[in-house]
Chains A and B, each alone.
Chain A
Amino acid sequence: MKYLDPTGAPAALRRTPTTPKLGSLTGRTLAVVNNGWQSMSRIGERVAELVRGGDGVREVRFYAIPRNRAAEDGVLARIREECDAAIVGLAN
């Protein structure tokens, strides 16, 4: 029997780079973006320790985003303005 495909594909994504890739973290400011799980708090703190020591990161800043919905534009704008790179916790 012939039948119609019920699935829907997403519209093709056009990826437009908005920031240049970093060659190195040395001297940079890194954001740790935490979606509110204790696991991400621990991971974020450990990552901060590692990059401060081994990669010469100038500063690590911590930002909170909601646990189960999109971050507000203001928070994203601050991260963009204040940091060079970000590590983002999105799950649990």
Chain B
Amino acid sequence: MQLSARTLDGPEDIGALFSDMVARGYTDGLPVVPPTEAAVRAMIEGSGLDAAQSIAAIPPRGGAATVEKIAINAVMAGCLPEHLPVVIAAVRAIAEPAFNLAAVQATTSAATPVVIVNGPMRTRIGLNCGRGCLGPGVRANATIGRAVRLVMLNIGGGVTGDVDKSIHGMPGKYTFCFGELEEDSPWAPYHVERGYAAERSTVTVIAGQSTQSVYAAFRTPESIVHALADSMACYANGYLRGTGNPLVVLSPGHARIFAEHGWSKARLKETLFERTKIPLSYLPEEKQLSNPVYTDWDRSRTIQLCEQPDDITVIVAGGPEAYQITYIAAFSGSRRITAPIEAHEETAS
């Protein structure tokens, strides 16, 4: 296997090496695994891909993300070789023009790609889809999401404070990856909803803002929807363009309550879409500096979270109790992308 990346000389001491890489701007501030040639070769060999294969150009710098460059960043993030196909699919997805990565990278908001995995690959790599799936503790979740971030930094040029103008940032910008708990969902998995066969594995990326924990320990759909819609309906969070893909992460317990009462996922989305409309008269009369889409609308109109109910993404994941729901507001101007994990990559892992 021919590698083409430049070889750098760093200190032998692991702590000093980390400092060297921090000084060069190669990390997110956390320690990284040194991307030695041997480690990178092992990463690529597991993928079944050619090291030189071009995957995407990463905005805004337009850096060339080859399999080799992605593998280097995956090693640094702590990935195992079997994680690489997921990272590559996620990189393909965030580079799709409709995802609008240049804006996601440079915005003053807290937007970051949320990586959601569906299909058999989840269990093969030990991805946490259950309790605590959005938190720490599982290598696959932590390192796959982090590898995507390092690609955005090192190949896309998303340097904090320079290109990345996020006012506060958010912890999810370090890593943000989980899977759908398909086995405990009463509904079709998300990738099947998007037209993929259940036995395919996919990655979906959504530009999300932050996580909001919604306490909805009710036993009827009406009450659960009331609490959830009330948490989602915040005109300052995701309504500026009336576009984007709000993300609802529903516990299996909540999903079961909906299903037992005859609610489909589509009905849930339609209900949330209607219940999150806000009268424009509720907003301050002063205009926002950025001229939101509703700037010149008649104040008798309502504003909405997204263009249509199906723009809301509902994923079943997390612990089984029907207590908390996580809501992740959309970054307007970005569209969710679902990309298959290519068959040969999946087989190779």
Binding site for B on A (CB under 8 A): 1-11, 36-39, 41, 66-70, 92
A69 vs B36: C-alpha distance when bound (angstroms): 38
Determine how close the nearest CB of chain B comes to the CB of A32; give it in whole angstroms: 15
Determine how close the nearest CB of chain B comes to the CB of A43; give it in whole angstroms: 13
Chain A binding surface SS class: loop
20 A–B contacts from the bound complex (CB under 8 Å) = A1-B12, A2-B10, A3-B7, A3-B34, A3-B35, A4-B8, A4-B35, A6-B72, A6-B73, A6-B154, A7-B154, A8-B69, A10-B62, A10-B63, A11-B62, A36-B290, A37-B291, A68-B100, A68-B107, A69-B100
A34 vs B69: C-alpha distance when bound (angstroms): 37
Determine how close the nearest CB of chain B comes to the CB of A29; give it in whole angstroms: 24
Inside 8 A of A41's CB, which chain B residues have their CB? Answer: 291
The reply to whether the CB of B108 lies closer than 8 angstroms to some CB of chain A is yes
The reply to whether the CB of B26 lies closer than 8 angstroms to some CB of chain A is yes
The reply to whether the CB of B315 lies closer than 8 angstroms to some CB of chain A is no
Inside 8 A of B240's CB, which chain A residues have their CB? Answer: 67
Contact with A along B1-23 (1 / 0, CB 8 A): 00101111111100001000100
New A-B pairs, 16, CB < 8 Å, besides A4-B68, A6-B154, A11-B64: A1-B9, A4-B5, A4-B7, A5-B7, A6-B73, A7-B154, A8-B66, A8-B69, A8-B154, A8-B155, A11-B57, A37-B290, A38-B287, A68-B241, A69-B100, A70-B100
A11 vs B35: C-alpha distance when bound (angstroms): 23
Quick one: which of B164-216 are within 8 Å of A by CB? Answer: none
- Shortest Cβ distance from B109 into A: residue: A68
- Shortest Cβ distance from B331 into A: residue: A68
Partner among B10, B58, B150, B241 whose Cβ is within 8 Å of the Cβ of A1: B10
A2 touching B9 by the CB < 8 A rule?
yes
Partner among A1, A3, A9, A70 whose Cβ is within 8 Å of the Cβ of B64: A9
B35 touching A7 by the CB < 8 A rule?
no
Quick one: which of B51-75 are within 8 Å of A by CB? Answer: 57-58, 61-66, 68-69, 72-73
A68 touching B10 by the CB < 8 A rule?
no
Give the B interface residue count (CB, 8 A).
Answer: 47
Inside 8 A of B57's CB, which chain A residues have their CB? Answer: 10-11
A8-B64, A10-B63, A10-B64 known; A1+B154 contact, CB < 8 A:
no
A68 vs B17: C-alpha distance when bound (angstroms): 38
- Shortest Cβ distance from A4 into B: residue: B5
Inside 8 A of A38's CB, which chain B residues have their CB? Answer: 287, 289-291
Inside 8 A of A70's CB, which chain B residues have their CB? Answer: 97, 100
A69 touching B103 by the CB < 8 A rule?
yes
- Shortest Cβ distance from A7 into B: residue: B154
Inside 8 A of A39's CB, which chain B residues have their CB? Answer: 289
A6 vs B63: C-alpha distance when bound (angstroms): 11
Inside 8 A of B290's CB, which chain A residues have their CB? Answer: 36-38, 67, 92
Determine how close the nearest CB of chain A comes to the CB of B236; give it in whole angstroms: 16
A66 touching B34 by the CB < 8 A rule?
no
A38-B291, A67-B290, A68-B332 known; A1+B100 contact, CB < 8 A:
no
Contact with A along B21-53 (1 / 0, CB 8 A): 100001000000011110010000000000000
B333 touching A66 by the CB < 8 A rule?
yes
A7 vs B6: C-alpha distance when bound (angstroms): 9
* Top 10 A-B pairs, shortest CB-CB distance: A8-B63, A8-B155, A10-B62, A68-B103, A68-B333, A4-B5, A5-B6, A6-B154, A36-B291, A6-B72
